[in-house]
A = this chain, B = another copy of it.
C-alpha cells in the first residue's frame, strides 16, 4: 500500500509517517519502481501500535522501548509491565497537578466581582503591582 492509504487507514498524516521513518520508529518501506514507498500489513500493524501507544501518552522514546521489547517474545514481560506502570504514575501525577490548578482557577474566578480591571481581584491575585512597559 502507498503512504496515503496507510495514512488514511491509521488516521496519521503522510508527513508524520515519513517523520516516524526518519525517527526510526517505523521501519523503512520497500520502494516501487517509481520510488514510492510500498507498505506491508506488518507496517500497518506497527503503525497502529505506535499510534495507540502515543495516544496513551507514551513518549517517542518509550514507544521505541515498547517496540524493541515486543520484538523479543521470549524475554520476561516485566519490562513492558514496568513501562506501563511508569506511564500510569506519570498520568496520575499530571492529573493531580491539573486538579490543583483547577482549584486555583476556580478560586480566581470567584474572587472577581468587580466591574473594572482596576478593581479586579484576578489581576491583583496574580501579582500585586506590575511594571507598565
- Cα A115 to Cα B118 in complex, Å, equals 65
Main secondary structure of the interface of A (DSSP, over half): helix
Decide: A42 and B84 in contact? CB cutoff 8 A. Answer: no
> Interface residues of A, CB < 8 Å — how many?
62
Q: How far is the CB of A44 from chain B (nearest CB, A)?
A: 8
Q: Does A70 have its Cβ within 8 Å of any Cβ on chain B?
A: yes
Docked Cα-Cα span, A133 to B122, in Å, equals 55
Set of chain B residues within 8 Å of A41, measured between Cβ atoms:
131
Question: By the criterion CB–CB under 8 Å, are A120 and B56 in contact?
Answer: no
**Chain A 30-53 near chain B by CB (<8 Å), digits 1 or 0:** 000000000011111110110011
Is the CB–CB distance between B120 and A52 below 8 Å?
A: no
